[in-house]
Amino acid sequence: YRGSPAWLLPAPAHPHPWVLSSFRRIAEADCLANTASLHSVHLSYHKEKVKRKREMIVREFGKLHQLLADEEKLLLQKLEGEETQILVMISENLARVTEQKCLLVELILEIKEKMQQPVEGLLKVRLCHQPSQFSPASAPRPLLCGQVAGARLGHMLRKFKVDVTLDPETAHLELILSEDRKSVRRGGRKLLLLLFDSPKRFNCAPVVLGLQAFFSGRSYWEVQVGDKPEWGLGLCKESACRKGNIVFSPQNGYWVLRLQNGGYEALTCPVSCLTPSVRPRCIGVFLDYEAGEISFYNVSDRSHLYTFTDKFSGKLRPFFYLGSLMGGKNAEPLVISWMRDTQGTSCVVL
């Protein structure tokens, strides 16, 4: 059959084995190619998925790193501020301790000097400040025989200055208060006001009380008495009697230092007579509520005058007694000194 057309050749009854083998190899090659292609697609997909996850992780952790960096910066700034505050406090405390050490050294030296003097000299310890700067900043504890206020009292007691004003509702009708309520003097009886008397007002004694009421802590104020021949200063209970002839004594709720008939006296029972070496023109009053002490100081020469000791309860109010008019000789006012540093005390304004 050589040279005859293929369509003229008769179809074999059974394919030759090598033909089947060729078809099988071709089919297997196609299958392998398809499998390889599918694996390639899957590989690309998973690579892309892993890439996206990697980018997301990097992005999220980048955000976390930035947040942590910001938080670290804030905490370091806060720590730096706290460190600055602590250093300032340490510096202030060191300066305060140094000042107190100097005061204690001076106090020890002065006590040693006083120990070489006669007994009379021990009762007079002079302060080292100008009168305008004399004020309490620590409790005026008597150091010797209950009478010595202590050296450098102006430095030690400066914290407890309070600004006292007068209460017009308590003033006797013959008293005239200044507009700023810092001074009071004797005047004529106000007949029209006799119809408006109240339980708060003193109706016989020429007295007026301070507007502030103290119930704890330590407080100090100064009153200028000038050349008045008669006056009285101190504190009284809020509940003390204000009507009729009053006996000013601790038993009746009054702790008063008074000048009368040329003599200085603490109104105790019996009366305690005082002999200041220098005529007081300004009196300092110091209240230590918890210690139960009311102390008086001669600001003119910075010396201690007297200390009442008692147990207080309830509110205490500053007390101002103008004395008799004495034919006009006692017309000079009592003037409360201005105290601008008001701290370290507990009081209410009524």
DSSP 330: T
Would you list the domain boundaries of the chain? 1-116, 127-349
255 burial type by CB count under 10 A (0-12 exposed, 13-18 middle, 19+ buried): buried
The pLDDT of residue 285 is 94
Q: CA-CA distance, 332 to 88, in Å (whole number)? A: 49
| Chain length of the chain | 350
The pLDDT of residue 251 is 95
The pLDDT of residue 258 is 97
Long-range contacts of 117-125 (CB under 8 A, 24+ apart): 122/148, 123/147, 123/148, 124/277, 124/303, 125/149, 125/150, 125/151, 125/303, 125/304
Reduce the DSSP state of residue 334 to 3 states and report it.
strand
38 burial type by CB count under 10 A (0-12 exposed, 13-18 middle, 19+ buried): exposed
In sequence order, the 6+-apart residues with CB closer than 8 A to the CB of 276 are 264, 298, 301, 303, 305
Q: Alpha carbon of 165 to those of 5, 173, 181, 183: distances in Å? A: 142, 18, 5, 8
111 burial type by CB count under 10 A (0-12 exposed, 13-18 middle, 19+ buried): middle
At residue 332 the predicted structure's pLDDT band, cuts being 50, 70 and 90, is: very high
The pLDDT of residue 91 is 87
Q: CA-CA distance, 225 to 283, in Å (whole number)? A: 7
18 pLDDT higher than 60:
yes
DSSP 123: T
Residue type, 78: K
Q: Which of 84-88, 156-160, 243-247 has the lowest mean pLDDT?
A: 156-160
Reduce the DSSP state of residue 292 to 3 states and report it.
coil
The string of pLDDT tens digits covering residues 289-319 is 999 999 999 988 888 999 999 999 999 999 9
The string of pLDDT tens digits covering residues 207-244 is 999 999 999 999 999 999 999 999 999 999 999 999 98
- Got the DSSP string for 126-150? --SS-GGG---BS-----STTT---
Q: CA-CA distance, 200 to 172, in Å (whole number)? A: 10
| DSSP-assigned beta bridge partners for residue 320 | 208, 233
Cβ(179)–Cβ(249) below 8 Å: no
The pLDDT of residue 158 is 59
- Topology of domain 127-349, CATH: Jelly Rolls (2.60.120)
Element spanning 349, H or E: strand 345-349
Q: By percentage, how much of the chain surpasses pLDDT 70? A: 77
- Got the DSSP string for 176-200? EE-TTSSEEEE----GGGGGG--TT
pTM of the model: 0.57
| More confident site: 212 or 22 | 212
End-to-end CA distance of the chain: 143
